[in-house]
Structure 1
Amino acid sequence: MNALLSNHFMKWLGLGLGAVLILCLMYASVIFGVIDTSWHTAVDAYTHFDGSNEHIVIKEVRVPRALIAAAVGLCLGMAGALLQALTRNPLADVEIFGLNSGAALAIVLAVTYFSVQSLSQFTWLAFAGAAISGVLAYLLGSAGREGITPVKLALSGAAITALFSSITHGILTINEQTLDQILFWISGSVAGRKLVYLTNVLPYMAAAWIAALLVAKPLHTLMMGEDVAKGLGQRTLWVKIVSGLIVVMLSGCSVAVAGPIGFVGLVTPHLSRFFVGIDTRWVVLYSGMLGAILLLAADIAARFVAFPNEMPIGVMTALIGAPGFVYVARKGLAKG
Structure 2
Amino acid sequence: MKPNPYYWPAWILLGLVALASLLFGAGTLELRQALAALAGQGTEEARFVVLELRLPRLAIGLVTGLALGVAGALLQTLTRNPLAEPGLLGVSAGSAFAVSLAILAGASTATLTTLVSQAGALAGCGLVILATRIQGVGQDPVRLVLAGATLSALLMSLTSLMMLIDQRAADEIRFWITGSIAGKSWDQLTATLPTLVMSGFIVTAVAKPLASLALGERVARGLGHRPGLIQLGVVIAVALLTGSATALAGPLMFVGLVVPFVARALGGADIRKTLWLCLPLGPTMIIAADTLSRLLVAPSEMPLGVITALLGAPVLLVIIRTRRIPTL
The TM-score with structure 1 as length reference comes to 0.89
Q: 1:147 to 1:314 in 2, by over 3 A?
A: closer
Number of the residue aligned with 1:238: 229
Deviates more, 1:23-32 or 1:183-192: 183-192
Q: Which moved more, 1:197-206 or 1:69-78?
A: 197-206
Is residue 2:47 matched to residue 1:55?
yes
Q: Secondary structure at the match of 1:38?
A: helix
Query: How much does 1:138 deviate?
Result: 2.8
Equivalent residue, structure 1, for 2:40: 44
Q: Distance in 2 between matches of 1:183 and 1:319?
A: 19
2:118 corresponding residue in structure 1: 127
Deviation string, structure 1 residues 271-300 (Cα, Å, up to 9, x no partner): 111111111101011123211111111111
Alignment of 1:100-179 (within 5 A): 100-112=92-104, 114-144=105-135, 146=136, 148-151=138-141, 152-179=143-170
* Counterpart Cα distance in 2 of 1:126 and 1:255: 7
Which residues of structure 1 form unaligned runs of 5+? 1-6
Match of 2:250 in 1: 259
Residue matched to 1:199: 190
**Using the alignment, how far apart are the partners of 1:206 and 1:21 within structure 2?**
25
1:305-316 aligned within 5 A:
305-316=296-307
Q: 1:172 to 1:286 in 2, by over 3 A?
A: same
147 and 257 in structure 1: CA distance in 2 versus 1, 3 angstrom threshold = closer
When normalised by structure 2's length, the TM-score is 0.91
Matched, 1:91 2:83: yes
Contact 1:216 1:281 in 2 (8 A): yes
Q: Which residue of 2 aligns with 1:293?
A: 284
Q: What SS does the corresponding residue of 1:303 show, helix, strand or coil?
A: helix
Cα distance per residue 1:89-117 (max 9 Å; x no partner): 111000011011101110111111x2111
User: 1:249 corresponds to which residue?
Assistant: 240
Identical pairs, percent: 35
Q: Alpha-carbon deviations, 1:312-331, whole Å to 9, x = none?
A: 11111111110111111223
Cα distance in 1 for partners of 2:310, 2:68 equals 17
CA distance in 2, matches of 1:150, 1:237: 22
Q: Which residue of structure 2 aligns with residue 318 of structure 1?
A: 309
CA RMSD of aligned residues (A): 2.2
Q: Distance in 2 between matches of 1:43 and 1:116?
A: 40
CA–CA separation in structure 2 for the residues paired with 1:158 and 1:298: 23
Matches within 5 A, 1:13-52: 13-33=5-25, 34=27, 35-36=29-30, 37-44=33-40, 52=44
Deviation at 1:156, TM superposition (A): 2.1
Number of the residue aligned with 1:8:
2
Dislocated runs of 4+, deviation >3 Å: 331-334
Q: Structure 1 residues 138 and 153, CA, compared in 2 at 3 Å: closer, same or farther?
A: farther
Unaligned runs of 5+ in 2: none
* 1:4 aligned partner: none
